[in-house]
Amino acid sequence: MTEPEPIIRCRDVTLAYGQDVVLEKVDLEIAPGSFLPFVGPNGAGKTTLLRAILGLKETEAGTITTPFDRLPPGFVAQHQSIDLLFPVVARDIVMMGLFPRLGWWRRPSTEDRRQVDRLLVRFNLGAHGGKAFHELSGGMRQKVLIARALAAGAEVLIMDEPTAMLDADSENELIGLLHDLAVRDGKTVLFAQHGLDLVRNLTSQVCWVHRGRAAVMRWQDLPSARGEEAAHV
């Protein structure tokens, strides 16, 4: 079977803040439908690399090729970064994902509203669509933001530690939903992940970011698997 063309390519990419080089000579090829955690020690550059893939961080050298000029990605911020005083209910936040397609002047159709309701049900939010954002638990808030990205039609989802500040049950549920989006829907799911335990049984590969380098690796090839210094990621 022919391997699919990568949906994202990084070629000899160097990223820096001023004189401080964060990552250098990064070469990545990410296939469509990947469920790919970006793992590594705190401060290693996971978020910086994801921001560069999104186009929010310029490269010092090298190139990043994506389809985002025609297929905008869904960037899902951590739910803590959203103003909890924002007076909008969950259903309306998901509905906002339709606006790039509809424009601000066109009212959502009946089918658009059904699509939003289907997303709410899929994310176990059907009974919470009328609640204000601040009334939701952390896990529910994060699911609302992911549903909004899907409503926009994103084929690539990029997240910075989506399970941060969640309890164990919410972490497991959210990671399972993200994995399902890759396996069942063919979405490409990229996310920075602090711990390995949540994702170890869901994917054979991770993007390991450490000491100025980044590479897609199999579990057995990670430094931690060879008894090296990657115990705390």
CB atoms closer than 10 angstroms to residue 194: 16
Mean pLDDT for the stretch of residues 204-214: 95
Distance CA 133, CA 143 (A): 11
pLDDT at position 227 is 46
pLDDT at position 82 is 62
Distance CA 71, CA 100 (A): 12
Mean pLDDT for the stretch of residues 47-69: 96
- Which residue type does 206 have? V
Q: Is residue 190 a contact partner of residue 137, using CB atoms and an 8 Å limit?
A: no
Distances (CA, A) of 23 to 60, 189, 193, 212: 10, 21, 18, 4
pLDDT band, residue 202 (cuts 50/70/90): very high
β-pairing verdict for 20-30 and 8-17:
antiparallel
Mean pLDDT for the stretch of residues 47-56: 96
Which comes out higher in pLDDT, residue 227 or 76?
76
pLDDT at position 229 is 44
The answer to whether the Cα torsion of 95, 100, 101, 104 is positive or negative is: positive
Residue ranges per domain, the chain?
1-73+156-233, 83-154
Could you read off the pLDDT of 141-173 as tens digits, one per residue?
999 999 999 999 999 999 999 988 889 999 999
Could you read off the pLDDT of 114-149 as tens digits, one per residue?
999 999 999 999 999 999 988 999 999 999 999 999
pLDDT at position 157 is 97
Residues whose CB is less than 8 angstroms from the CB of residue 69 and which lie 6 or more positions away in sequence, other chains included: none
Q: What percent of the chain has pLDDT over 70?
A: 89
Using the predicted structure, report yes or no on whether residue 102 has a pLDDT greater than 90. no
Which comes out higher in pLDDT, residue 219 or 183?
183
Could you read off the pLDDT of 6-35 as tens digits, one per residue?
999 999 999 999 999 999 999 999 999 999
pLDDT at position 232 is 44
pLDDT band, residue 85 (cuts 50/70/90): low
CB atoms closer than 10 angstroms to residue 232: 9
Mean pLDDT for the stretch of residues 60-79: 90
pLDDT at position 228 is 45
pLDDT at position 54 is 96
The CATH architecture to which 1-73+156-233 belongs is 3-Layer(aba) Sandwich (3.40)
Distance CA 125, CA 137 (A): 11
DSSP collapsed to 3 states, the chain = CCCCCCCEEEEEEEEEECCEEEEEEEEEEECCCCEEEEECCCCCCHHHHHHHHHCCCCCCEEEEECCCCCCCCEEECCHHHCCCCCCCEHHHHHHHHHHHHHCCCCCCCHHHHHHHHHHHHHCCCCCCCCCEHHHCCHHHHHHHHHHHHHHCCCCEEEEECCCCCCCHHHHHHHHHHHHHHHHHHCCEEEEECCCCCCCCCCCCEEEEEECCEEEEEEHHHCHHHHCCCCCCC
The answer to whether the Cα torsion of 99, 90, 116, 66 is positive or negative is: positive
pLDDT band, residue 81 (cuts 50/70/90): low
